[in-house]
Structure 1
Amino acid sequence: MTLNTTATAPAASSRQVAEPAKRRKARSSYPYWFYLPAAVIYTGLFLVPTFASFFFSLTRWNFNSFTFIGLDNFVQFFNEPSLLKGLTNTFIYGVVTAVLKVVLGMLLGVFLTSRIIARGYLRSIIFFPVLLSSIGVGIVFTVLLDPSNGMINKALAAIGIEGPSWLTDPAWALLSVAFVDVWKGVGLAAVIFIAGIVSIPQEYFEAAKVDGASSFKCFWNITLPLARPATATVIILSLIGGLRSFDLIWVMTQGGPGFTSDVIASVIYKQYQAGFYGLSTAGNVVLFLIVTAIVVPLSMFLNRKEVEQ
């Protein structure tokens, strides 16, 4: 009788352990249903168009039919005379806008987290251009940068400086659009830096001041290292935006004069306007691969440095 009791005890115990495990397993699978709406949206809006673009870049297509032609679109795209200039301009535009947004955003972030009057009002003023339409901003600055009647050149003339032909001079066209892009987007960079700086414990700054550290040393040794996550975010977002930029360039210069302010996105759009849909799709794939090849390694590098810190 004793043997039967001892034999059944482990069996009962194992059943008791198995039943909660089954219940835990059944419960753990339930939350995965919450991923379903996001997965459907992500698949429909990103994965399907991405794979469709890769497929149609290998075809000659219109809205009624398509013909598979292999890599001919890519060969033709890289033989376009404007592509090399557009590729160079894309990198120049992306680097210039990203660097200026990081530097100016950091300076504005430090300024707007200091003890100044009307700090909240100034933050809203800095962020306001981000809310404006890129098309509207482009049209307004096209008028302001007019070499003859624009207010910017008139203001420069009032202090004895002859302003250049901002949007028609090949030496200034691309940089002029880049400066407008920075004006419009630096507010977002500043807000990200403000969030990063505010999250730094104030005890560090108080201890540094007790030790006699100057404001510059506090910035260099405390703010800059501890705001690294915000810096990495601004770098990545600004670089992606700069490499993909199209709307401001198209509104203000349409890639001109000549090809001097063309970027890859504007070259792609011109091919689409001409009816070369397969060629423009191949250009989109090229742009996607370029942005991915630059941003993914850079993001991994910045995140690794952040973890090492």
Structure 2
Amino acid sequence: MTTTFEPATSREGPAPRPPGRIRSGVRAGARYPYWFYLPAAVVYLVLFIVPTVVSFFFSLTRWRLIDWEFIGFENFVMFFREAALVTGLVNTLIYGVLTSAAKVVLGLLLAVLLTSNIVGRDFLRSMVFFPVLVSTVGVGLTFEALMDPFGGVINNALEAVGLPGPGWLTNPSYALLSVALVDIWKGVGLATVIYIAGIVSIPREYFEAARVDGASAWDNFRYIILPLARPATTTVIILSLIGGLRSFDLIWTMTGGGPGFTSDVIASVIYKQYQAGFYGLSTAGNVVLFVVVTAIVVPLFWWLNRKEAEL
């Protein structure tokens, strides 16, 4: 009996493409062709790059709606010579730092509370986040009425217990701080939600090991939550600081920048300059605000991410 061996038929597919070969139009290491980025690039160009360049140009001009005159850096010189504008810049820095720092601290503490085993935890989470959903203008109008020195609910409550109610929005010493407190109340819910997401993403094994070692609640907070929730801290700091430095609607609704110029920030001063017809000066103020925010946020973001990478 003779056995015949047939040649083996190759069932393999086409030879794999050499690693060095890349399909035309596809970036090395990318999953999509270049033209997939085109819609986002067009939107970014039209809505950000072009307005930014145009703003920089018109900040160097004395312009109206129908014509313009190039005057160089005269608008910027005038900006820093105006006492009200410099006051607005200082108030912007104070307001941004104060509100962002408070949101970081209170957001972290509320997140720790709302991730523990307490009664009504889900309801309390909803209540903390609710102010974030309310219109900023509505919040401003509501608290303007509540903080009214004559007949406002807050001062009436203080007088009922024998305490004198201050002029929350009429006293130059309290106006900016009062608006900042309302901003903190409205924005701390978002910081809390970000921190909650960061805390619940921490593996439970860390807490179980700490419990076995006899760690206290403070030890858990200091050695587990604080370092492992650092990405959430970075996010809260950056978002809160950008929002605080660019704040306008709440301040304008509650005080209009007053009394006098004591609660003015750059954004409210810019708006007043537009109202008065000083378009070039107000555009220069926008450029100054852009530079201030960029000069603070970009290095801070780099430093926070560097610290995170060192952990």
Q: TM-score, normalised by structure 1?
A: 0.92
SS at match of 2:26: helix
CA drift at 1:118: 2.1
Assess, with a 3 A threshold, how the Cα gap between structure 1 residues 117 and 78 changes in structure 2: closer, same or farther: same
Kindly report structure 1 stretches of 4+ aligned residues shifted beyond 6 Å: 16-20
Describe the SS at the equivalent of 1:25: coil
Amino acid at match of 1:28: V
* Structure 1 residue aligned with 2:109: 107
Deviation at 1:25, TM superposition (A): 2.2
Give the equivalent residue in structure 1 for 2:26.
Answer: 28
Q: Deviations over 1:195-236 (max 9, x none)?
A: 000110111111111111110111011101100000011011
Q: Which amino acid letter does the alignment assign opposite residue 131 of structure 1?
A: L
Letter of the 2:135 counterpart: S
Q: Distance in 2 between matches of 1:213 and 1:261?
A: 47
Of Structure 1 and Structure 2, which has the larger fraction of its residues in helix? 1
The unaligned stretches of length 5 or more in structure 1 are 1-15
Could you say which residue in structure 1 is the equivalent of 2:301? 299
Aligned mates of 1:306, 1:17 — CA distance in 2: 40
CA distance in 2, matches of 1:141, 1:297: 35
Kindly provide the CA deviation profile for residues 39-94 of structure 1, in whole angstroms up to 9, marking residues without a partner as x: 11111111110011001101111111111111111111111120221111111111
Contact 2:104–2:233, Cα closer than 8 Å, also in 1: yes
Measured in 1, the distance between the counterparts of 2:125 and 2:290 equals 34
> Whole-Å Cα distance in 2 between the matches of residues 243 and 20 of structure 1?
49
Correspondence for 1:136:
138
Task: Report the residue type matching 1:65 in the other structure.
Answer: D
Structure 2 equivalent of residue 166 of structure 1: 168
Distance in 1, Cα, partners of 2:126 & 2:18: 57
Q: CA offset at residue 117 of structure 1?
A: 1.9
Q: Distance in 2 between matches of 1:92 and 1:106?
A: 21
Counterpart position of 1:124: 126
Matched, 1:80 2:78: no
Q: Encode CA deviations 1:247-292: one digit per residue, 9 max, x unaligned.
A: 1111111111111111111111111110010110000000000010
1:46 is aligned to 48
% identical equivalent positions: 69
Aligned counterpart, 1:247: 249
Distance 2:270 2:221 in 1: 43
**Cα distance change, pair 17–220 in 1 and its aligned pair in 2 (3 A):** closer
Larger deviation: 246-255 or 153-162?
Answer: 153-162
The answer to whether the Cα contact below 8 Å between 2:25 and 2:34 also exists between their aligned partners in 1 is: no
- Partner of 2:240 in structure 1? 238
Alignment match, 1:9: none
Give TM-score, length-normalised by structure 2: 0.91
Letter in 1 for 2:33: P
The residue number in structure 1 matching 2:157 is: 155
> What does 1:197-276 align with in structure 2 at a 5 Å threshold?
197-276=199-278
Deviates more, 1:49-58 or 1:156-165: 156-165
1:62 counterpart residue number: 64
What secondary structure does 2:119 align onto?
A: coil
Give, in angstroms, the shift of residue 17 of structure 1: 8.4
Q: Structure 1 pair 19/298, CA: closer, same or farther in 2 (3 Å)?
A: closer
Q: Work out the CA distance in 1 between the residues paired with 2:182 and 2:36.
A: 42
- Gaps in structure 2 of 5+ consecutive residues: 1-14
Q: CA deviation at 1:33?
A: 1.3
